């Protein structure tokens, strides 16, 4: 191994160590004391409930672990958006699981909580997966009610999704394992079956204090909406259980008997590990973001047997396209080539930049994958589309639009992995969040923004200096440098993959060695939903 490889390896391993530490802290939710308080009430925590529910020795793919990271600090924060979401297996059936974390503000809903819950429902709807709700929530976080209550993508949208999923035949199972109040009461009761845990579970539109204030009635919460009330008098819930474990066991028995739906039919054979050593991925990403590297080498460290059948290898070289398998699943890969390449005409093209020929190739490849029913995997390390008079005269906008059109209209499932830069329109063309990838994850080396930190900071500095001069203010070179540093630091914070993950622009940040698991579980989920015939729409040629 050379010195450069060792330097790269040290940096990425440090980033992964930071990732692991951040994961551990985030998974504590509201902290050790709050976890202890849950146990004293005879309740499991959200993560303990999920661990008990899913099949032993099976993976759980968490979605949105870092949602809310660094947000709402003025009210103590909201780790993981106060809810745990992911893909897991219950009695061999893949499903979506949503569990309120009562250690975080009693499981109250913040704006990011609503966004994360809607993301969970979106995954269930796109992939026709059963969904399990483990309910333990105090309802809307009232100081922010205006940011969560009335809009289209707010709290109420989840109940609309309940109804839509019911009409789609998607199984929804709910367990009320703690508080379930006000509008939130509709979520479990709009599910197909609702269980409740005795003495700890409760469900009502208004609690005892509000009832007293509204109509003057004196009543305690257990009589008002406890397990006995709703299983024996109102009929709102279907069965009650003495503790969390018994309730979760009942859910397992439900899943043991669910029938199977039609599959999409994506091709899978026996899985094979890459021949190339996966751990070498740590040393292959340059510490200097402008240094070139060969994306094909990265791909061969991820795919089965390191076999990659490249499509149009001699044309449009700044995008790599080809067929491979990941954990046995057939995939079509579209990735940005980061090394400087030479065209047949002898011209040099910058790595990570999309040129007209690359966009044309990618569009054709995407259409082929749709024709053959092969899921698409996009690997992003992209600076954007080529600019300048030569590119404009060559029709870069037309060819870029062709690629975006084919990608946006793709009906085979798309999965996106951001391993480096994800800048500007390159993010869009390579299936960024706006283009409905079934899953989108980032390595710790990812950066997501309109442009690089250096370019953005210089642009913003010029605007700021120009504004000050228009106001008759002059600034010294030292002041200008200080201003540049402040702008750069702020912008670089926003480039971080954790900044993107906190806002659910990506579903999570992962160690590179988790890449195969993420893509495999994603395709397995997508295989539950039959796909429509591909119709690319209007494409100029």
The DSSP bridge partners found for residue 335 are 320, 379
With contact defined as beta carbons under 8 Å apart, do 115 and 514 qualify?
A: no
Whole-Å CA distances, 438 to 335, 421, 465, 521, 526: 17, 20, 43, 11, 8
With contact defined as beta carbons under 8 Å apart, do 323 and 363 qualify?
A: no
Here the tokens at position 263 are 């599959």
- Burial of residue 376 (CB within 10 Å: 0-12, 13-18, 19+) is buried
Q: How far is residue 94's CA from residue 441's CA, in Å, rounded to a whole number?
A: 19
Provide the 10 A C-beta neighbour count for residue 225: 28
- Res 469: pLDDT: 75
How confident is the model over 194-246, as pLDDT tens digits?
A: 999 999 999 988 777 788 888 888 888 888 888 999 999 999 999 999 999 99
Q: How far is residue 197's CA from residue 203's CA, in Å, rounded to a whole number?
A: 11
Side-chain half-sphere exposure of 200, counting CA atoms within 13 A: 26
Whole-Å CA distances, 532 to 317, 366, 373, 420: 31, 15, 10, 32
- Res 388: pLDDT: 75
Here the tokens at position 78 are 């909201």
The DSSP bridge partners found for residue 413 are none
Q: How far is residue 97's CA from residue 329's CA, in Å, rounded to a whole number?
A: 24
Q: How far is residue 213's CA from residue 445's CA, in Å, rounded to a whole number?
A: 54
Q: How far is residue 222's CA from residue 238's CA, in Å, rounded to a whole number?
A: 17
Q: How far is residue 227's CA from residue 540's CA, in Å, rounded to a whole number?
A: 62
User: Residue 471 belongs to what H/E stretch?
Assistant: none
With contact defined as beta carbons under 8 Å apart, do 13 and 444 qualify?
A: no
- Res 534: pLDDT: 72
Q: How far is residue 94's CA from residue 60's CA, in Å, rounded to a whole number?
A: 10
User: In this structure, which long-range contacts are made by residues 179-182, counting pairs with CB atoms below 8 Å and at least 24 apart in sequence?
Assistant: 179/102, 179/106, 179/107, 179/136, 179/137, 179/138, 179/139, 180/135, 180/136, 180/137, 180/204, 181/137, 181/138, 181/139, 181/205, 181/206, 181/207, 182/139, 182/140, 182/206
| pLDDT tens-place values along the chain, 541 residues long | 589 999 999 999 999 999 999 999 999 999 999 999 999 999 999 999 999 999 999 999 999 999 999 999 999 999 999 999 999 999 999 999 999 999 999 999 899 999 999 999 999 999 999 999 999 998 888 778 888 888 888 888 999 999 999 999 999 999 999 998 876 778 888 999 999 999 999 998 877 778 888 888 888 888 888 899 999 999 999 999 999 999 999 999 999 999 988 999 999 999 999 999 999 999 999 998 889 999 999 999 999 999 999 999 999 999 999 999 999 999 999 999 998 887 777 777 877 899 999 999 999 999 999 999 999 999 999 998 887 778 776 778 888 899 999 999 999 999 999 999 999 889 999 999 999 999 999 999 999 987 666 666 677 777 877 777 788 777 777 777 777 777 777 777 888 999 999 999 999 999 999 999 999 999 999 999 998 877 765 555 5
Q: How far is residue 445's CA from residue 195's CA, in Å, rounded to a whole number?
A: 43
Task: Identify the residue whose tokens are 């070498």.
Answer: 280
Residue 353 backbone phi and psi in degrees, to 5: -110, 135
- Res 292: pLDDT: 92
Provide the 10 A C-beta neighbour count for residue 427: 23
Q: What is the dihedral of CA 283, 288, 290, 296, to 10 degrees?
A: 0
Q: How far is residue 304's CA from residue 445's CA, in Å, rounded to a whole number?
A: 23
- Res 58: pLDDT: 97
With contact defined as beta carbons under 8 Å apart, do 342 and 348 qualify?
A: yes
With contact defined as beta carbons under 8 Å apart, do 298 and 379 qualify?
A: yes
The three-class DSSP label of residue 493 is: helix
Here the tokens at position 248 are 């979760």
- DSSP one-letter code for 381: E
């Amino acid at each position: 191994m050379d010195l450069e490889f060792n330097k790269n390896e040290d940096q990425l391993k440090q980033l992964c160590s930071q990732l692991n530490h951040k994961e551990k802290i985030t998974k504590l939710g509201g902290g050790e004391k709050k976890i202890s308080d849950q146990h004293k009430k005879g309740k499991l925590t959200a993560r303990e409930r999920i661990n008990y529910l899913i099949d032993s020795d099976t993976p759980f793919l968490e979605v949105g672990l870092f949602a809310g990271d660094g947000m709402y600090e003025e009210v103590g924060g909201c780790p993981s958006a106060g809810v745990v979401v992911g893909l897991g297996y219950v009695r061999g059936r893949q499903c979506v699981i949503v569990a309120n974390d009562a250690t975080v503000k009693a499981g109250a809903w913040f704006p990011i909580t609503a966004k994360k819950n809607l993301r969970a429902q979106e995954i269930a709807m796109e992939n026709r997966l059963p969904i399990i709700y483990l309910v333990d929530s105090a309802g809307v976080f009232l100081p922010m009610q205006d940011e969560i209550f009335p809009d289209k993508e707010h709290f109420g949208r989840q109940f609309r999704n309940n109804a839509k999923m019911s009409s789609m035949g998607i199984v929804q199972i709910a367990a009320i394992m703690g508080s379930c109040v006000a509008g939130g009461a509709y979520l479990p009761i709009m599910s197909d079956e609702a269980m409740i845990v005795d003495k700890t579970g409760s469900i009502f539109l208004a609690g005892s204090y509000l009832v007293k204030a509204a109509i003057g009635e004196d009543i305690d919460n257990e009589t008002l909406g406890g397990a006995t009330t709703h299983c024996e008098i109102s009929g709102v819930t279907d069965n009650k259980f003495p503790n969390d474990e018994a309730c979760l066991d009942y859910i397992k028995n439900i899943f043991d008997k669910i029938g199977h739906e039609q599959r999409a039919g994506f091709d899978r054979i026996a899985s094979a590990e890459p021949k190339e050593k996966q751990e070498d991925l740590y040393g292959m990403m340059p510490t200097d973001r402008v240094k070139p590297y060969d994306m094909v080498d990265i791909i061969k460290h991820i795919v089965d047997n390191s076999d990659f059948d490249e499509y149009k290898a001699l044309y449009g070289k700044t995008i790599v396209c080809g067929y491979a398998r990941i954990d046995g699943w057939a995939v079509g890969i579209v990735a940005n080539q980061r090394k400087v390449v030479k065209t047949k005409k002898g011209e040099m093209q910058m790595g990570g930049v999309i040129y007209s020929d690359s966009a044309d190739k990618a569009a054709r490849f995407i259409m082929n994958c749709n024709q053959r029913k092969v899921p698409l995997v996009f690997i992003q390390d992209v600076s954007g589309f080529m600019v300048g008079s030569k590119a404009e005269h060559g029709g870069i906008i037309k060819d870029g639009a062709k690629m975006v059109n084919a990608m946006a209209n793709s009906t085979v499932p798309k999965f996106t992995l951001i391993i480096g830069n994800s800048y500007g329109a390159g993010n869009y063309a390579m299936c960024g969040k706006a283009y409905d990838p079934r899953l989108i994850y980032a390595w710790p080396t990812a950066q997501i923004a309109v442009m690089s930190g250096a370019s953005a900071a210089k642009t913003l500095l010029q605007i700021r200096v120009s504004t000050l001069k228009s106001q008759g203010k002059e600034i010294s070179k030292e002041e200008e440098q200080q201003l540049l540093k402040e702008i750069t630091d702020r912008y670089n914070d926003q480039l971080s993959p954790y900044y993107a993950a906190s806002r659910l622009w990506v579903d999570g940040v992962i160690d590179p060695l988790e890449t195969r698991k993420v893509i495999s579980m994603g395709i397995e989920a997508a295989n539950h939903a039959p796909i429509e015939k591909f119709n690319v729409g209007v494409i100029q040629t």
